[in-house]
C-alpha cells in the first residue's frame, strides 16, 4: 500500500503563477482607478511578470526576456494612449508607461547580460 495514494513523480506540481496573476490584476486596477502611482506600477509589474512566468513555464518561450519586452511595448501603447489623449488621465498613463520602462529594461538587460543555458 502507498502512504500517499494518487501522488506520482510523473505528474507536475502545481504552478504558483495563477495566484500572482490573480493578485496583480486587482492591485493594478486599484492603483490605476484611484490614481495611486506606486500601486499601479507594482500591480502591473506583478501581473506582467506572472504572465511571463506562465508563458515560460508552459514552454511557449525559451526565456522570459522577450515576453517581458512584448508586455513593455503593450504597456507603452496603452499608457501613451491614456497620457497623451486626456489631461485627466495623464498621471495614470505615466504610471503605465513607467511599468513599461521597467519591463523593457528588465527584458533588454536580461537578453544582453544573462548567459544562455546549454541544453542538457
| Of residues 9, 111, 98, the one with CA closest to residue 52 | 111
Please give the model's pTM, rounded to 2 decimal places: 0.85
CA distances from 104 to 67, 86, 88 (A): 10, 25, 26
Using N-to-C axis directions, what is the helix angle for 17-33 and 37-58, rounded to 10°?
Answer: 150
Q: What is the pLDDT of residues 70-108, one digit of tens each?
A: 999 999 999 999 999 988 889 999 999 999 999 999 999
pLDDT band at 118 (very low <50, low <70, confident <90, very high): confident
The DSSP secondary structure of 41-67, one letter per residue, reads HHHHHHHHHHHHHHHHHHTS-SSSHHH
Amino acid at each position: 500500500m502507498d502512504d500517499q495514494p494518487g501522488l506520482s513523480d510523473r505528474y507536475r506540481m502545481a504552478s504558483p503563477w495563477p495566484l500572482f496573476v490573480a493578485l496583480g490584476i486587482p492591485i493594478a486596477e486599484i492603483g490605476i482607478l484611484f490614481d495611486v502611482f506606486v500601486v499601479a506600477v507594482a500591480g502591473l509589474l506583478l501581473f506582467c511578470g506572472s504572465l511571463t512566468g506562465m508563458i515560460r513555464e508552459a514552454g511557449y518561450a525559451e526565456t522570459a526576456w522577450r515576453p517581458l519586452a512584448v508586455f513593455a511595448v503593450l504597456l507603452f501603447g496603452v499608457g501613451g494612449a491614456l497620457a497623451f489623449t486626456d489631461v485627466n488621465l495623464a498621471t495614470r498613463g505615466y504610471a503605465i508607461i513607467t511599468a513599461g520602462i521597467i519591463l523593457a529594461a528588465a527584458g533588454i538587460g536580461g537578453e544582453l547580460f544573462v548567459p544562455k543555458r546549454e541544453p542538457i
